[in-house]
Amino acid sequence: MISTIFAFINAAIIQSIPLLFGATGEIITEKSGNLNLGIPGIMYMGGISGIIGGYIYEHSTASPNAALCIIIPLLSSIVGSLLLALIYSFLTVTLRVNQNVTGLALTTFGIGIGNFFGGSLLSFFGETGSISLIKTGQCFKASLPFANKLGLFGKTFLSFGFLTYLAIIIALVTSYFLNRTRAGLSLRSVGENPATADAAGINVTKYKYLSTLIGGAIAGLGGLYFVMDYTGGAWTNNGFGDRGWLAIAIVIFAIWRPTTAIFSSFLFGGLYILCIYIPGLSSSAKELINMLPYVVTILVLVIISMRKKRENQPPASLGLSYFREER
């Protein structure tokens, strides 16, 4: 029984990591007033970019170096995510296009790129079958050498690849950044009231760009984690599923707080796999459990709007573009 519980906790943590990356990235983005609904697409992009980088490296050398196995996919994933986030920023901030329209188009685009390259990458290199980067996957999964020696506790909490810890560290750093630094204060002001931020001498455009780019890169790591650590270097089209939307749900559920997002991700990750651990659950009930995260998110959204506590509201300018000389 105990071991089942620990196994469940372990699996929940694994499930929660892509969500946490996505949620943290979206929180940073939304704090600048950009509702980036392209995050699901960016996460696909982060995943496939990592796959492409890893594939090219693993196939160009006979004996892949472990450090490069990590660095190359990591960098290529970040570059891919940045590229999409850049498209979003350019369209919504510089060209002031509607954020919802841009974000949704970006998601279509990103998922398209992911599935296109995921399905055709091997054929470009004259190979057949499905992508499987075993070596790279192993490098990403590599955990602390002594983790398994620490018994159940070690297995449950310390047996993860480095991206797991990175996700939590990034969330904590983001929380510190938003609440305890000058730049964080400025960023929040841009999302609350860009005209006021502008009058205070804050470069609204710069903050919107940077937060969307950095947020995109972080979210993309969620995709990378999924393809490298979770699936061990394999790609299946649409395998990432709707985790990107779940990440956006977590942002609301956590009321735009990165530290709360850590626990929310864990909770949502747990719900994602709960049915496997409850014996005798029918497959239909499983679908209902998968519905739960969205239902509770809606409830949270409704409750914060009813309670009207000012600190818990979405950033006030969320979804609106800013034009200084609007008259």
Partner 1 sequence: MAVAAIELKNITKRFGTKVVANKNVCLTAYKGEILSLLGENGSGKTTLMNMISGIYYPDEGQIFINGEEVVIRSPKDAFKYKIGMIHQHFKLIDVFSAAENIVLGLEEEGKYDIKTVTARVKAITEQYGFDLDPNKKIYEMSVSEKQTVEIIKVLYRGADILILDEPTAVLTPQETQKLFAVLRRMREDGKAIIIITHKLHEVLSLSDKVAVLRKGEYVGTVNTAETNESELTEMMVGKKIDLNINRSEPKDSVDRLEIKNLNCVSEEGIKTLDNVSFTVRSGEILGIAGIAGSGQRELLESIAGLQPIESGEIIYHNPKTGKTDELRGKSPIQIRELGVRLSFVPEDRLGMGLVGNMDIIDNMMLRSYRKGKSMFLERKKPKDLAERIIKDLEVVTPSAQTPVRKLSGGNVQKVLVGREIAAAPTVLMAAYPVRGLDINSSYAIYNLLNEQKENGVAVVFVGEDLDVLIELCDRILVISSGKVSGIVEGRGADKGEIGLMMTKVDGGAESGC
Partner 2 sequence: MAVNEKHIKEPLFHITKRTDIPKLTAWGIRLIAVLAALIVSALVIVTITSYNPIEVYIKMFEGSFGSERKFFILLQNTAMLLCVSLAVTPAFKMKFWNLGAEGQVLVGGLSSAACMFYAKDSLPSWLLIIIMLVTSILSGVIWGVLPAVFKAIWRTNESLFTLMMNYVAMQLVSFFIMVWVPNGSSVMGVLNQRSECGWLPTIFGQKYALNIIIVAVLTVVMFVYLHFSKQGYEISVVGESENTARYVGINVKKVIIRTMVISGAICGLTGFLLVSGTNHTVSKELAGGMGFTAIMVSWLAKFEPSMMIFTSMFIVFLQKGAGEIATAFRLNESVSDILTGIIIFFIIGSEFFINYKINMRSKHKEAE
Q: Of these, 123, 126, 128, 182, which contacts partner 1 (CB under 8 A)?
A: 182
Smaller CB separation from partner 1, 98 or 130: 98
Indicate the burial class of 30 (C-beta count within 10 angstroms; 0-12, 13-18, 19 or more).
buried
Least distance (Å) between residue 203 CB and partner 1: 7
Let me know: does 158 contact 143? Beta carbons within 8 Å: yes
Let me know: does 161 contact 143? Beta carbons within 8 Å: yes
Least distance (Å) between residue 205 CB and partner 1: 10
Say what the alpha-carbon torsion angle 243, 42, 14, 267 is, to the nearest 10 degrees: -50
Interface stretch with partner 2, choices 129-137, 207-215, 262-270, 293-301 (CB under 8 A): 293-301
Smaller CB separation from partner 2, 92 or 175: 92
- Token pair 């105990």 is at which residue? 2
Judged by CB under 8 A, how many residues of this single chain contact partner 1?
Answer: 25
Enter the tokens of residue 104. Answer: 């949704």
- Token pair 């929660």 is at which residue? 16
Let me know: does 227 contact 27? Beta carbons within 8 Å: no
- What does each C-alpha distance from 230 to 62, 113, 130, 268, 302 come to in angstroms? 25, 20, 16, 16, 34
180 binds, among partner 1, partner 2, none (CB under 5 to 8 A by kind): partner 1
278 binds, among partner 1, partner 2, none (CB under 5 to 8 A by kind): none
Q: Which long-range contacts (CB under 8 A, 24 or more apart) does 83-87 make?
A: 83/45, 84/38, 84/41, 84/42, 84/45, 84/109, 84/110, 84/216, 85/36, 85/38, 85/42, 85/212, 85/213, 85/215, 85/216, 85/217, 86/213
Q: Of these, 196, 237, 238, 305, which contacts partner 1 (CB under 8 A)?
A: 196
176 binds, among partner 1, partner 2, none (CB under 5 to 8 A by kind): none
Q: Of these, 142, 236, 286, 312, which contacts partner 2 (CB under 8 A)?
A: 286
Q: What residues from 132 to 161 belong to the interface with partner 2 (CB under 8 A)?
A: none
Smaller CB separation from partner 1, 59 or 324: 324
Residues that bind partner 2 (CB under 8 A): 35, 37, 87, 90-91, 94-98, 100-102, 104-109, 111-116, 119-120, 124, 237, 242, 245-246, 248-249, 252, 282-284, 286-288, 290-291, 294-295, 297-298, 301-302, 305-306, 308, 314, 318-319, 323, 325-327
Q: Which residues are near partner 1 by CB under 8 A?
A: 180-182, 185-186, 188-189, 192-193, 195-203, 310-311, 313, 316, 324-325, 327
